[in-house]
Structure 1
Amino acid sequence: MTSAETLRGRKVAILATDGVEEVELVEPRRAVEDAGAEVRLISLSPGRIQAMKSDVNEAGTYEVDAVVGDVSVEDFDALILPGGTTNPDHLRQDESAVGFVRDFVNSGRPVGVICHGPWTLVEADVVRGRTLTSYPSVRTDIRNAGGNVVDEEVVVDNGLVSSRNPDDLPAFCSKIVEEFAEGRHDR
């Protein structure tokens, strides 16, 4: 199987909203698309979302494919949760987004999360007993939610792939393709 076929037939959701760190949206999306996956950008409302560069400079805007309240976990094989400071902060305040993430993780489907993205996992109460990494300012929240935090480039815990920041994207992208190809993981 060529690398362009690794994820052929797989559907990947990216859950993001305004304030998403552009590189954390674009590079993982490119990696899974290059591996053959079909990707849909899921958000809180229809239209376009505003990406950012380092939380301070506006970057590109991206067309939303579906609203989180209108999709089901059953529609997808894997999930990507990019960071940016305000993106997960908005997501964790939305019941539909939190419920989608909770159901996704509990289904055993693989999830990739980077930088500030674990805030949504914390809100969904799905980090208890899991080992992951994140941006340094999120680590206390993960520990307080019962998760184990390590400071490594990429961490895999039973289908949950996490990385710290954009510098880790090459390792993160490679590992999500691998884990997404493996499919569901029993906990």
Structure 2
Amino acid sequence: MRKELEGRRVGILAADGVERIELEQPRAAVENEGGHVELLSLKAGEIQARDHDLEPAGTFPVDRTVAEAKVDQFDALILPGGTVNPDKLRLDETAVAFVRDFVRSGKPVAAICHGPWTLVEADVVRGRTLTSYPSIRTDLATPAPPWWTGRSVSTGT
């Protein structure tokens, strides 16, 4: 019997601090359905996973950097959470551009826990219904105000 994801390629974009279970379980689910998974990250080598953001929880080998990845090489993208991982991703212009291009391609994107932070940074959440860890609900729903790169700003209040 043919498996649901046979012949499909799924990228998981993660950095150091990824929540272990949020990387392992989606990867296993895709592979159990016949899909091929590649771990993409900011740098080559391996990434350090965590349990509950605090405890080191092993490392995972990176298959390729996000700078080497192309949207057309994947059928879907997974953005696992933890708080550290998506915070690192959203500070990396290459990762943000990859996520933006992926969403604009119309291919499926799954974001887990704090993973939607990267979607916010990529400016692709407007008009979409999202779920997340409860603490970032406001981040997903609030339009971004103008942002100043200086050391301080006075708004008259």
Calculate the TM-score normalised by the size of structure 1.
0.75
> Which of structure 1's runs of 4+ aligned residues deviate more than 3 A?
none
1:137-180 per-position Cα deviation (integer Å, ceiling 9, x unaligned): 1111100148xxxxxxxxxxxxxxxxxxxxxxxxxxxxxxxxxx
Match of 1:52 in 2: 50
1:22 is aligned to 2:20:
yes
Q: Which of 130, 133, 138 is the equivalent residue of 2:131?
A: 133
Partners of 1:122 and 1:145 within 8 A in 2: no
Partners of 1:82 and 1:117 within 8 A in 2: yes
1:118 is aligned to 2:147:
no
Match of 1:151 in 2: none
- SS state of the match for residue 37, structure 2? strand
In structure 2, what is the Cα distance between the partners aligned to 1:71 and 1:52?
24
Matches for 1:50-129 after TM superposition, within 5 Å:
50-129=48-127
Match of 2:147 in 1: none
Calculate the TM-score normalised by the size of structure 2.
0.90
Between the two proteins, what is the percent identity of the paired residues?
64
Q: CA deviation at 1:46?
A: 0.2
Q: Per residue, is there more helix in 1 or in 2?
A: 1
1:97-122 per-position Cα deviation (integer Å, ceiling 9, x unaligned): 00000000110000111100000000
Partners of 1:69 and 1:96 within 8 A in 2: yes
What count of residue pairs does the alignment treat as equivalent?
A: 144
CA radius of gyration, larger in: 2
Matches for 1:7-46 after TM superposition, within 5 Å:
7-46=5-44
Q: CA deviation at 1:16?
A: 0.1
Q: CA deviation at 1:128?
A: 0.2
- SS state of the match for residue 79, structure 1? strand
Unaligned segments of structure 2, at least 5 residues: 145-157
In structure 2, what is the Cα distance between the partners aligned to 1:41 and 1:145?
31
Matches for 1:142-157 after TM superposition, within 5 Å:
142-145=140-143
Partners of 1:10 and 1:37 within 8 A in 2: yes
Of the structure 1 ranges 65-74 and 136-145, higher mean CA displacement relative to structure 2 is found in 136-145
Q: CA deviation at 1:60?
A: 1.1
- SS state of the match for residue 8, structure 1? coil
Q: CA deviation at 1:43?
A: 0.1
1:63-119 per-position Cα deviation (integer Å, ceiling 9, x unaligned): 000000111000100000000000000000000100000000110000111100000
